[in-house]
Amino acid sequence: MYNNARALKPVSERDALKKALYKIKARHNGELKSLKTAWVNFNDAFCDGLEWRTITVVGARPGTGKTLFMEQLVNDVIKMNPDQKFRVLKFQFEMLDETNGIRKLSMNVGSDYNTLMSKGKPIDKGIFQKCVQFYEDTASYDMVDVVYDPCTVEEMCATIHAYMLENKTDEGFTNTLVTIDHSALFKTGGKYKDKFEMLYGLGEALTEMKKKFPVAFLVLSQLNRNVETPERAKDGTYGNYILDSDLYGSDALLQHADVVLGINRPYNRKIKFYGPERYIINNPDLLVFHILKSRNGFMGMTFFKLDRVIMRIVEVDPPPTAS
């Protein structure tokens, strides 16, 4: 009967209530904390920051700044949560290791990529010394590991499993922030015939991993090309906004994600008046974060900009609106 399906064993719902009480007490006593970031409105999309055992998906078109967003987030949570013991495991499929390193230095010494790479003129000795100093300082908090090799979803799960066992202590598994840049670059094959099947498998795998281990996932994803059509760029329309259906393979990831963000850069799309509110867009570095899904926090949109002087994404007030 039932194609030889195995029977699942129900458990009392009181077990869930008991776990909930333990979690509430741990939060009250400060034993369980979220990872705070430098962005107040971003923290509000969660419960005061990234929570453990959650999945966050961030979608954006190329050139929007999503990789910088992720690198800054990792950088900031390490600096802003010194009282928490955790590690970071990054799956970086797009960049070479040295390119990733240059971007990391750029963010921490406040000089852009071209400056560090001596474009036009040799790098200033003082800036280079800052880079050296940052590298030496990381020895005191060597807590970030990176996987650069392309892999399948199954290989990702095996890697996370092995990593959690390797860093297990007498107190149990170590909390780990896992970042993925980006979802569509996992290899297909095996039981996944194409990218969309792979994304469904990825969503299921992330959910399985967060139930098994104390991890928080941050997954970068692409947006569909239809966000760049002329109709979506018409000034003052709802189509200017990023929608959950714009996320590449949206059905696959939306079901499993706890928080979904879409990052937009209206200036790139030649939009002068953004959305029905008609926000005036005259800054090429203005970013709009659309919080499309949040199980336990703030939903809506908030504004940021790329500050090229310090090479950071910073929160800003909403721009003025046109009548």
Q: pLDDT tens for residues 95-116?
A: 777 887 888 888 788 888 888 8
Mean pLDDT of 137-160: 90
pTM: predicted TM-score of the whole model, two decimal places? 0.88
Structure confidence at residue 233 as a pLDDT band (50, 70, 90)? very high
Structure confidence at residue 159 as a pLDDT band (50, 70, 90)? very high
- Angle (CA) 279-281-282 rounded to 5° is 145
- Residue whose tokens read 């458990």: 11
Q: What is the pLDDT of residue 137?
A: 86
Query: On the CB side of 162, how many CA atoms lie within 13 Å of its CA?
Result: 8
* Pick from 216, 209, 95: nearest CA to 162: 209
% of residues, the chain, pLDDT over 70: 100
| Amino acid identity, position 31 | E
Q: Which phi-psi region, left, alpha or beta, contains residue 210 (left: φ > 0; alpha: ψ -120 to 50)? A: alpha
Q: What is the pLDDT of residue 183?
A: 80
- Residue whose tokens read 């007030």: 317
pLDDT tens-digit readout, 67-98: 889 889 999 999 999 999 999 999 988 777 78
At 191, give phi and psi (nearest 5°): -85, -5
pLDDT tens-digit readout, 170-220: 999 999 999 998 787 788 877 788 888 898 899 999 999 999 999 999 999
Q: What is the pLDDT of residue 297?
A: 76
Q: What is the pLDDT of residue 302?
A: 94
Mean pLDDT of 291-315: 87
Q: What is the pLDDT of residue 105?
A: 87
Structure confidence at residue 251 as a pLDDT band (50, 70, 90)? confident
Structure confidence at residue 57 as a pLDDT band (50, 70, 90)? very high
- Cα dihedral 177→291→262→233 (10° resolution): -170
Helices (H), 183-275: 195-212, 250-254
Q: What is the pLDDT of residue 134?
A: 86
E strands within the chain? 54-60, 86-92, 144-147, 175-181, 215-222, 259-264, 273-274, 279-280, 286-294, 300-307, 312-316
Structure confidence at residue 47 as a pLDDT band (50, 70, 90)? confident
* Contact (CB, 8 A) for 208 and 170: no
Q: What is the pLDDT of residue 110?
A: 81
* Contact (CB, 8 A) for 44 and 289: no
Q: What is the pLDDT of residue 46?
A: 85
Q: What is the pLDDT of residue 73?
A: 93
227 contact partners, CB below 8 Å, separation of at least 6: 61, 242, 246, 264, 269
Comparing 233 with 248, which gets the higher pLDDT?
233
Q: What is the pLDDT of residue 207?
A: 95
